[in-house]
Amino acid sequence: MANREIIEKIRSLSTQEQRNIPYEDLIKIIEPLTADEIIELSNIIGYPVFTRLCMGVLKHSFVLLQDGAAAIIVNDKGQILLQSRADRDQWGLPGGCQELGERFQDTVIREIKEETNLDVLEEDLELIDIVSGPSRRNSYPNGDIVINNTALYCVRKYLGDLKWDSESKSMQFFDLDSLPENQHDPDLIKVYINKLHK
């Protein structure tokens, strides 16, 4: 099978099927690919998932460093948008992992569109901070542990109707003085609030 056929076959798999590719099969898939094709494959599967697949039996034991971006989306009342995540009972910011070769600006615009259906222009992104360190350690229900480096943006101008994908149970704008207690990103929200008070 030609390299292009291999990549397109994997692209046609469901997310769950991609995540369940056996390590031995992955070796055979990757061996004939060029570096550019491996990057494309990684971006199809998703970089963190692809990286863990490449680790074989160690995939849930290895602490992964992840780069990504998140957005504080502010409405005209000064409220911020939070999503009730489908994988846990917590409220978090729209955002996600950077794909290989992607700029942080592209990451946050893509993630906002995927998770909220809102369109944002690059010129309407305001970089708040790059947040890293111990507060960015996260664990997931499947046992994965990651430490994130997150480019945090503020977005006040956006277009579109709010809709959410399967990563979220719900989305809601919250006043800063009545945020839910069960937050996924309290450190990022704190960075935003501290910046407001400067």
Q: Determine the average pLDDT of the residues in 53-75.
A: 90
Provide the domain limits for residue 99: 64-196
Are 110 and 173 found together in one domain? yes
Residue 140 has pLDDT above 90, yes or no: no
**What is the total count of domains within the chain?**
2
Q: Determine the average pLDDT of the residues in 38-51.
A: 92
Please report which confidence band the pLDDT of residue 142 belongs to, taking 50, 70 and 90 as the band edges: confident
Are 46 and 77 found together in one domain? no
Residue 58 has pLDDT above 90, yes or no: no
Going by the DSSP 8-state scheme, the letter that residue 145 receives in this structure is E
Taking all residues of the chain, what is their mean pLDDT, rounded to a whole number?
92
CATH number at residue 70: 3.90.79.10
**Which run of H or of E encompasses 18?**
helix 15-19
CA distance 97 to 69: 7
Task: Out of 6-15, 33-42, 113-122, 138-147, pick the least confident.
Answer: 138-147
Q: Of 104, 78, 82, 85, give the one whose Cα is nearest residue 93.
A: 82
Q: 3-state secondary structure string, 44-104?
A: HHCHHHHHHHCCHHHCCCCCEEEEEEEEEEECCCCCEEEEEECCCCCEECCEEECCCCCCH
Are 116 and 174 found together in one domain? yes
Q: What is the pLDDT of residue 173?
A: 97
**Which run of H or of E encompasses 125?**
strand 125-131
Picking from 37, 58, 79, the residue at the C-terminal end of a domain is 58
Task: Out of 74-83, 99-108, 133-142, 148-157, pick the least confident.
Answer: 133-142
Please report which confidence band the pLDDT of residue 175 belongs to, taking 50, 70 and 90 as the band edges: very high
Are 91 and 49 found together in one domain? no
* 102-116 tens-digit pLDDT: 999 999 999 999 999
Are 180 and 86 found together in one domain? yes
